[in-house]
Amino acid sequence: MHDACAPKTEKDTRPIAEAPEKRVFIKTFGCQMNVYDSERMADTLGAAGFAETGSPENADLVILNTCHIREKAAEKVFSELGRMRVLRETRREQGGDMMIAVAGCVAQAEGEEIARRAAVDIIVGPQSYHRLPELIERRAGNRGPVIETEFPAAEKFASLPAPKLRAAPAAFLTVQEGCDKFCTFCVVPYTRGAEYSRPVAQIIEEAKRLAERGVREITLIGQNVNAWAGQGPSGKTWTLADLLRALSEVDGIARLRFTTSHPNDMSDALIAAHRDLPKLMPYLHLPFQSGSDRILKAMNRKHRMEDYLRLVDRLRDARPDLALSTDIIVGFPGETEADFEDTMRIVERVHFAQAYSFKYSARPGTPAADRPGHVPEDTKSQRLASLQALLFAQQTAFNSAMVGRTLAVLWESRGRNDGQVVGRSPYLQPVYAEGDTALIGRITDVEIMAASQNSLRAVIKNLDEDAT
Ligand code: 5AD
Ligand code: SF4
């Protein structure tokens, strides 16, 4: 007899979910790794009976996945926390309740303080969120807040459930976490902990699952992604270049990217991968932070301006169509006008397709915070404005140079207007075109018709044929 015809036992006839499903609202601040982490938290909680909701008003659990990298990022978290506490009060007045959890780097850096000041229920660091279901239970039977900020990165990755189906054809995959570089301005080594590389088999398995679910593009992420190291199936040590080669062979994956890289870990093999792997997109995020050797030394970057420029030349020799993006800090303690001019010179020399630029922000506990010579706020603002004027001009020039060219676009979602789709070029530029949503997940050639600072407009060519 077929199972479906078997007499129903009492168990069979009960409704599938006995308790009503609980709802979780997750708000993500900061970097791509936090986006990845938030999705994994949702997967973990999904397995524990929580459904994601798009608004905090009807949530049983609100998680703020936080960022501590700059003061402004941390401030945003605290103001959001205030808003959530008001919501919780209202819910309690109405006889309901809501748990508030703070996850991510602010939780790691300031957990005790938040628990004391902000009456938060759960504090969970970036390496412990796989324990969320258990922490929620502990909190329910507890009077005080539950704090979990240990660093078991290996345990976390081993116990996370497989990624759930998400509609987007481009996905992030964390391969490396933490940092041992200790740049003097940066909190990451303290909040994310020591460098940890996920094992090869786990990464390939996750990539295969993503591909089976329709993902065409994977961005490998890590704070120091090019320091990733692992052991290949034959026991040989693998670098990121070997991993990229293996991932190129996963069926369905058409595009690969990786971010963020430190210049000192751009090995010969990784440069060669940019030459040899057609699926590796010709776009690299390579922060240089400052163009002044004096400031680079004070930042403990362990590279000089000349090293960076030589590296850029070698990358462009290997892959002539490679475009670069970068991170730059202005107003690091002790930065003079001449140091800042050195930064401007690097930008003029390299020509970036895109860049993130920041005013230095003192982070408690980092060595630079205690250095003398803090730069006045208005000087920082002036330098940032000059730098951004140059960077935006370069970005616009880079985009304008695409007009009339044919580019392969991975279509990701519907556009703002009806009948419009939006995708990404190999250089991560958003591309808009008239087209059907059936295109989502496909890669087609387009002709670029117009460009602005932030996006391109295109007409789709050869609709019947997918580009590679
Ligand atoms: N102040 C300003 N910018 C910072 N970054 C990291 N720490 C700081 C800080 N304290 C920038 C760096 C880094 C990017 C992610 O954030 O440029 O590459
Ligand atoms: Fe921070 Fe990047 Fe430096 Fe590591 S390499 S300390 S993550 S800026």
- Mutating to test ligand 1, I would choose from 75, 329, 343 the residue with most ligand atoms within 8 A of its C-beta, which is 329
Burial degree of 392 (CB within 10 A; 0-12, 13-18, 19+): middle
Name which of 164-168, 236-240, 377-381 the model is least confident about: 164-168
- pLDDT tier at 416 (50, 70, 90 boundaries)? confident
Residue 421 in tokens:
């789709």
Q: Give the closest ligand to the alpha carbon of residue 34.
A: 1
Q: What is the pLDDT of residue 169?
A: 95
- Which residue type occupies 252? G
Beta bridge partners of 218: 171, 256
For residues 69 and 76, what is the distance between their CA atoms, to the nearest angstrom? 12
DSSP state of 468: -
- Mutating to test ligand 2, I would choose from 34, 67, 182 the residue with most ligand atoms within 8 A of its C-beta, which is 182
Q: Give the closest ligand to the alpha carbon of residue 190.
A: 2
- Mutating to test ligand 1, I would choose from 29, 72, 185 the residue with most ligand atoms within 8 A of its C-beta, which is 185
State the distance from the centre of ligand 2 to the C-alpha of 118, rounded, in angstroms: 29
Q: What is the pLDDT of residue 116?
A: 82
Handedness of CA 173, 224, 272, 468 (dihedral sign): positive
Residue 14 reports pLDDT greater than 50: no
| Angle between the N-to-C axes of helices 268-276 and 240-248, in degrees from 0 to 180, rounded to the nearest 10 | 20
Task: Give tens-digit pLDDT for 118-171.
Answer: 789 999 999 999 999 999 999 988 778 899 998 888 889 888 888 776 768 999
The residues, ordered by sequence, that sit 6+ positions from 221 with a Cβ below 8 Å of its Cβ are: 32, 33, 36, 172, 173, 174, 175, 176, 258, 259, 260
- pLDDT tier at 115 (50, 70, 90 boundaries)? confident
- Give the pLDDT mean for 314-330: 98
Q: Which atom of ligand 2 is nearest to the CA of 262?
A: 5
Is residue 198 within 8 Å of 220, Cβ to Cβ? Answer: no
Q: What is the pLDDT of residue 3?
A: 36
CA 22 to chain centre: 27
Residue 467 CB: number of other CB atoms within 10 A? 16
- Which residue type occupies 159? S
Handedness of CA 118, 120, 122, 127 (dihedral sign): negative
- Closest residue by Cα to residue 128 from 145, 147, 110, 106: 147
Ligand 1 site: residues with CB under 6 angstroms? 69-70, 185-186, 287, 289, 327, 329, 358, 360-361, 363
Residue 228 reports pLDDT greater than 50: yes
For residues 31 and 173, what is the distance between their CA atoms, to the nearest angstrom? 13
- Give the pLDDT mean for 406-432: 95
| Average pLDDT value over all residues in the chain | 92
Q: What is the pLDDT of residue 19?
A: 54
Q: What is the pLDDT of residue 35?
A: 95
- Which residue type occupies 235? G
Q: How far apart are the first and last CA of the chain?
A: 49
Residue 11 reports pLDDT greater than 50: no
Residue 347 reports pLDDT greater than 60: yes
Query: What one-character-per-residue DSSP string does 163-229 give?
Result: PPP-S-SEEEEE-EE--S---TT--HHHHT-S-EE--HHHHHHHHHHHHHTT--EEEEE-TTGGG-E
- Give the pLDDT mean for 23-42: 95
Beta bridge partners of 26: 63
Q: Give the closest ligand to the alpha carbon of residue 328.
A: 1
Q: Where are the beta strands (DSSP E) in 189-267?
A: 196-197, 217-221, 229-231, 237-239, 255-259
Segment holding 158, helix H or strand E: helix 153-159
